[in-house]
A and B are shown apart, each in its own frame.
Chain A
């Protein structure tokens, strides 16, 4: 610490930083046993702000934040928007807000499956890296490049925990980003918060990632299941004002159960009746038994909160049966080439399947930012990646908001440091270029802990057995930005 401080004095000429160091040094010598002094020392930011270096580029989010936010004075309190603040003096005594951040680079890690049966989900990490390499070549974050290490966890929570423990011990990472899976993130959020490691933009959409008070260092990203289920309920109520019967088929894991519980909550007290609830074990080979039971309920609407091959099994199974409900699937089934295209070879189409969408795939011709989509295809080609793979597009989606967070942190008082990064993750306002038209994406501290709070019902149309169809918006865009609050005060009505 002392050596680094000395380096700072000689290598930088920013008077503020020097003043901070002097102040810390003076207080240290004056009262070396004083805890106050020790905590002040760990809050000394070594960052050099360099906001203006990045050229104006519509494909990379610009900093968009009130510059008065961030470190309060030279203390250990970091203030964000929406009544949010972090007090770093409560962090472990050997904590350093500059770990993983130098003048040249900022080092992050993620943990996701990169081998094993669910490795397909891990492609999101490669997509993320692909976007970051573009950003690094175009200014990075205040001249720093973003380095991302991908750790493999086979989608197993215990391995995620092991990876995180090691990443913390390695003492070279500023933050984590896009760690994948509901149970996986559940297994690590305590240690992340205890260790004050920014747990950024979790790649799972459970409501609990919006628990600002208990887990200030953890932030979610995707449209949370509670909000999505609420949008399903609204659509059903609009179509069936006199009441409807619904069958819910969900995966028997945190992911499926979160959806199922959220929809049950949303439908409670309404004239929507859930007449069948079927769970399917993720290790089951197929879902014929569940589909037969769901069909026996003769429900008017079928909701499938599933992922992976179960998406195509569910959609195809209903189409093949004599049951003819409105089929709504979770956003996890929204990727055409994995969930719908495989149906063609079997003489099926998947037409009529509905899903709540909030952003477009770059390959979707209906997207609102063709230039960004083109850039995506170009960058994919550079790394030899297949632009059609859904998880790569998600990688770009996560990458955009990661860069937004980092650039916002860089523009705050005290510059780019870990506390400001965690604060900035709750101070986002930059919209992704491929958002559904009219939708916004904002995080606002304690008041608004969910980045997305809206979407639009889309229906898959125009598919034949030889041609894939496309998602067509039906119904109105519903944007509840700022109204769902946070996990403790969740307002989904």
Chain B
């Protein structure tokens, strides 16, 4: 990456404030454009197919979008601290979910507690993984680390198949999930499961935003991602910082997988399918933004369910294509994603 700085190159606090304000305005403008486009499409959709169907598709899109966003979060956390995409994130989260399932089977307990236990264990696992397999590599050598994560991707999938087999298992939802557990709005169903998941996801985003943007730890994350050598000079413990990002990402990933699992069922490949959409969500939101990941997820989910549902000639089998078309469209205007910071290079 060379010497890339995300802060303004030089100048005083006033300059920084001006740059930040400009960024905020640009971000707001981009989000507004997206919302206006979405609203226009929605009006046409309601006229075309009626309010009930539209609402149902809207809820489907939001529900799936939240899950994509949640999976994207853990990608963003590692990216923020290291500047790499962790391809093993899906399988790591999948293992975490199997772990929660196993804990539940061995000791009957509330589902949420089992999820928390699995999050702690996978957080520790993430830290160990970083120490053993990632730290031996030069943190500036992104390619080598990415290859390691690819190897982990394959290894974890095989491991899960070996231990738990391929049979799809159901993961109990922490929220009521029976046939009657839903509210109806104008005839469209919104399940308690979806509402509960949404609350949890938003809570997770708020906590992560606070941790990563308002604490010293968050600052060191950004510093390490930007410039390893300078961070070292500033006295930041590179290893610890990266290790913490892996642990945090593993824990958040496990939470995500456990919330996704009730709607997809658990088999060794279930998170790999989500991961593709999570990449889309993370890129859309800007790879280094927590709230961007969530916004990107929502946008991906909504556009997939609305575009494939309404645009004639775009069948529901083209969901992934729509997702990627969306990314390309956004990146044309906002190359760093909706919420991403544009990298500036010192010349």
> Which A residues lie at the B interface, using CB under 8 A?
115-120, 123, 252, 278-281, 283-286, 288-290, 292-293, 295-296, 308-309, 312-313, 319-322, 337-338, 342-348, 389
- With a CB–CB cut-off of 8 A, which chain B residues contact A116? 157
Q: Which residue of A292, A308, A309, A347 contacts B57 across the interface (Cβ within 8 Å)?
A: A292
- Return 11 A-B CB contacts under 8 Å, by A number: A119-B161, A120-B166, A284-B317, A286-B264, A288-B60, A288-B64, A289-B61, A289-B64, A312-B168, A321-B189, A348-B178
Give the nearest-CB partner of A120 in chain B: B166
- With a CB–CB cut-off of 8 A, which chain B residues contact A321? 189
CA distance A119 to B158 in the complex (A): 10
Q: Which residue of A292, A313, A320 contacts B265 across the interface (Cβ within 8 Å)?
A: A313
Contact, CB under 8 Å: A338 / B179:
no
Q: Which residue of A292, A296, A322, A346 contacts B262 across the interface (Cβ within 8 Å)?
A: A346
Q: Does B308 sit at the interface, judged by CB under 8 A?
A: yes
Contact, CB under 8 Å: A117 / B168:
no
Give the nearest-CB partner of B182 in chain A: A320
Q: Which residue of B166, B189, B272 contacts A322 across the interface (Cβ within 8 Å)?
A: B189
> Which B residues lie at the A interface, using CB under 8 A?
49, 53, 56-57, 60-61, 63-64, 67, 157-158, 161, 165-173, 177-179, 189, 191, 260, 262-265, 267-270, 272-274, 276-277, 304-305, 308-309, 315-320
- With a CB–CB cut-off of 8 A, which chain A residues contact B61? 289
Give the nearest-CB partner of A317 in chain B: B263
- With a CB–CB cut-off of 8 A, which chain A residues contact B158? 115
CA distance A123 to B238 in the complex (A): 46
Give the nearest-CB partner of A250 in chain B: B317
New A-B pairs, 16, CB < 8 Å, besides A117-B269, A309-B168, A348-B179: A120-B166, A278-B316, A279-B317, A284-B317, A285-B277, A286-B64, A286-B264, A288-B63, A289-B304, A289-B305, A289-B309, A309-B265, A312-B168, A313-B264, A346-B177, A346-B178
- With A117-B269, A312-B168, A342-B168 in contact, is A289–B320 under 8 Å at CB? no
Contact, CB under 8 Å: A293 / B316:
yes
Give the nearest-CB partner of A346 in chain B: B177
- With a CB–CB cut-off of 8 A, which chain A residues contact B53? 292, 296
- The SS class assigned to the B binding surface is helix
- With a CB–CB cut-off of 8 A, which chain B residues contact A293? 309, 316
Minimal beta-carbon separation of B102 from chain A (angstroms): 14
Q: Which residue of A286, A319, A322, A345 contacts B170 across the interface (Cβ within 8 Å)?
A: A345
- With a CB–CB cut-off of 8 A, which chain B residues contact A344? 170
Contact, CB under 8 Å: B172 / A284:
no
- With a CB–CB cut-off of 8 A, which chain A residues contact B170? 312, 342-346
CA distance A361 to B57 in the complex (A): 39
Q: Which residue of A285, A343, A347 contacts B273 across the interface (Cβ within 8 Å)?
A: A285
Contact, CB under 8 Å: A342 / B179:
no
- With a CB–CB cut-off of 8 A, which chain B residues contact A284? 273, 317, 319-320
**5 closest A-B pairs (Cβ-Cβ)?**
A120-B166, A117-B269, A279-B317, A347-B178, A252-B317
- With a CB–CB cut-off of 8 A, which chain A residues contact B319? 281, 284, 289
Give the nearest-CB partner of A311 in chain B: B168
Minimal beta-carbon separation of B10 from chain A (angstroms): 46
Contact, CB under 8 Å: A281 / B168:
no
Contact, CB under 8 Å: B157 / A120:
no
Contact, CB under 8 Å: A309 / B264:
yes
Contact, CB under 8 Å: A342 / B57:
no
Contact, CB under 8 Å: A292 / B309:
yes
CA distance A389 to B319 in the complex (A): 32
Q: Which residue of B63, B168, B173, B270 contacts A346 across the interface (Cβ within 8 Å)?
A: B173
Most chain-B CB neighbours within 10 Å: which of A119, A280, A293?
A293
Q: Which residue of A285, A292, A309, A345 contacts B274 across the interface (Cβ within 8 Å)?
A: A285
Minimal beta-carbon separation of B299 from chain A (angstroms): 15
Contact, CB under 8 Å: A120 / B167:
yes
- With A286-B64, A289-B304, A293-B309 in contact, is A320–B273 under 8 Å at CB? no
- With a CB–CB cut-off of 8 A, which chain A residues contact B173? 346
- With a CB–CB cut-off of 8 A, which chain A residues contact B57? 289, 292
Give the nearest-CB partner of B173 in chain A: A346
- With A283-B320, A309-B264 in contact, is A292–B60 under 8 Å at CB? yes
- With A119-B161, A283-B320, A346-B178 in contact, is A338–B168 under 8 Å at CB? yes
Minimal beta-carbon separation of A348 from chain B (angstroms): 7
- With a CB–CB cut-off of 8 A, which chain A residues contact B265? 309, 312-313, 342
- With a CB–CB cut-off of 8 A, which chain B residues contact A120? 165-167, 267
- With a CB–CB cut-off of 8 A, which chain A residues contact B67? 285
CA distance A313 to B170 in the complex (A): 10
- With a CB–CB cut-off of 8 A, which chain B residues contact A338? 167-168
- With a CB–CB cut-off of 8 A, which chain B residues contact A296? 49, 53, 56
Minimal beta-carbon separation of A244 from chain B (angstroms): 22
Give the nearest-CB partner of B305 in chain A: A289
- With a CB–CB cut-off of 8 A, which chain B residues contact A285? 64, 67, 260, 264, 270, 273-274, 277
Most chain-A CB neighbours within 10 Å: which of B60, B265, B267?
B265
Contact, CB under 8 Å: B269 / A389:
no
CA distance A293 to B260 in the complex (A): 21
CA distance A338 to B67 in the complex (A): 24
Most chain-B CB neighbours within 10 Å: which of A319, A344, A346, A389?
A346
- With a CB–CB cut-off of 8 A, which chain A residues contact B315? 278-279
CA distance A278 to B274 in the complex (A): 20
Most chain-A CB neighbours within 10 Å: which of B63, B260, B277, B316?
B316
